[in-house]
Copies of this chain bind each other. A is one copy, B any other.
Amino acid sequence: MQNDRVKLEDPQTPYLALDPAIVTANVERLRARLDRLGVALRPHVKTAKSLDVARLVQDEPGPVTVSTLAEAEAFAAAGYRDIVYAVGIAPGKLGRVAALRERGADLVVLLDSVEQAAAVAARGLPALIEVDCDGHRGGLRADDPALLEVARALRDGGGEVRGVLTHAGESYFADGDDALREAAEQERRHAVRAAEVLRADGHPAPVVSVGSTPTAHFAADLTGVTEVRAGNFVFFDLVMAGIGVCTTADLALSVVVTVIGHRPDKGWILTDGGWMATSRDRGTARQRVDQGYGLVAGPDGVPHEDLLMSDASQEHGILSMRPGSARPLPDIPVGARLRILPNHACATAAQHDHYHVVGGGVWERIRGW
Contact = CB atoms under 8 A, between A and B. Distances in A.
A347 B12 CA distance: 22
Nearest to A281: B280
Contacts of A313: 137, 169
A24 interface: no
Given A113-B261, A261-B112, A369 B14 contact: yes
Contacts of A315: 46, 67-68, 87
A71 to B, nearest CB: 10
Complex copy number for this chain: 2
A350 B351 contact: yes
Chain A interface size, as a band, is 35 or more
A272 B90 contact: yes
Interface in A55-108: 67-69, 87-93, 96
Interface stretch (A180-188, A262-270, A322-330): A262-270
Contact of A347 (B258, B263, B280, B367): B280
Contact of A88 (B46, B67, B115, B272): B272
Contacts of A350: 276, 351
Contacts of A368: 352-353
Interface of A: 12-15, 46, 67-69, 87-93, 96, 112-113, 115-116, 119, 135, 137-138, 169, 258-263, 266, 270, 272, 275-277, 279-282, 313-316, 318, 333-335, 346-347, 350-353, 367-369
